[in-house]
Amino acid sequence: MLSYKRQIMSVLAAMVLVGCASSPTGRSQFLLISPEAAIVESETAYLSTMGDLDRDGKLVTDPDLLGRVARITGRLVTIAETSFPDTRDWQWSVAIIDDPETVNAWCMAGGRMAVYTGLIEQLQLTDDELAQIMGHEISHALANHTAERMSRAIATSIGVVAVGVAADNSAAAMAGAAMVANVALELPNSRTAESEADTIGMELATRAGYDPEAAVTLWQKMGSLSEKRPPEFLSTHPEPANRQAALQRQIPTMLALNPTRSKAAITEIDMVR
């Protein structure tokens, strides 16, 4: 048992870095896990999720919709890789999930994304608005928000693991360790992270050739939808009216980044189907 306890504690020590980092906007981040470790855990979760969706026949195969999302996201990835060279090694991929009731999209650490048909259909998104959504989600990955969420999960779960080890309870220790990854990927981003992703995503979309004004019309649509039924996408996001005002203030700065709206080249990415 002593050897087992040493192994568990070694794993915990390897995971916990306890260090400060800075996001792309200069915000201080306190990370208990490295961005690289977050990518590894995200890959495992993504492949498992895609496998389940594939078995259930929930992955969209329509070539027109796949092509549209690939074109828009591919331009955003081009800008992301230019601005963040380390991401050129990421396994960029997008899945379109056939779920007309779900208004949501996400991007895990390492560039693995998903968008739900409910988001596109219920909001009747233009290409510019879809670019704002996907730019926002990509920005969560660029800013290491997954690692931040995992750090929050570690802070709440590590005690469970430590207690299990101290009590020679291998089942409790293993359950606590597994909980770290599973809980982390289900936690919402903080409102600070959401606002940060708004700014970074708006810049990505503008540099990729999409209208920054679409960020405002997007959240107008989100606000209208939330009056009828709060979408999952808005559960932890800033209030739509405040968000629109904040984005509106940034439009002049964004327009200066790409005044001609010239479109970026399209990076080929894996479309999961």
Residue 82: pLDDT above 90? yes
pTM score, two decimals?
A: 0.81
Indicate the pairing of strand 93-97 with strand 270-272.
parallel
- The whole-number pLDDT of residue 256 equals 97
From 137, 148, 194, 203, active-site residue: 137
**Cα–Cα distance list, 266 to 67, 77, 115, 227, 269 (Å):** 11, 8, 19, 36, 9
pLDDT, the chain, mean: 82
pLDDT tens, 3-55? Answer: 544 544 454 554 444 456 777 877 777 777 788 888 998 899 999 999 999 99
> For 170, phi and psi rounded to 5 degrees?
-65, -35
Q: Predicted confidence band at 243 (pLDDT cuts at 50, 70, 90)?
A: confident
In whole angstroms, give the CA distance from residue 90 to residue 88: 6
Count the neighbouring beta carbons within 10 Å of the beta carbon of residue 144.
Answer: 24
Q: Taking the domains of the chain in order of start, what are their residue ranges?
A: 2-272
- The whole-number pLDDT of residue 15 equals 47
Based on the residue annotation, tell me whether 137 is a catalytic residue of this protein.
Answer: yes
